[in-house]
Amino acid sequence: MSEENCRLQCSILFMNYFEEWIKFPGATDYKYPVVAADVETLYRDYCRIPTLTGCSGDVEHTLRAVLHEYGRREAETIDEALDLYALLLAAVQ
């Protein structure tokens, strides 16, 4: 997910607050003032932009170290990926 997509998803939470044209018949208006710093805090704490690998930074660093130790690189085919997966599992167990 790109940073732009993450920002878009997080902004959906605030859409009803900022967009006056969105009204639902019979809905109660619960708007209250929002401090811009609170919006930034929510973005920082709850909108995580995943790495390209989908792993946390620590896990990715460890697995890249294993790849380097065994003189391997990231897989480009399904067969390479299966072989690499078996190597990484054996290395971390």
**pLDDT for 67-78, tens place per residue?**
899 999 888 999
Q: Is the pTM higher than 0.85?
A: no
DSSP characters over the chain: --HHHHHHHHHHHHHHHH-TT---TT---------HHHHHHHHHHH-----TTSS-HHHHHHHHHHHHHTT-----SHHHHHHHHHHHHHHH-
**pLDDT for 2-33, tens place per residue?**
666 556 566 655 555 555 556 667 777 677 77
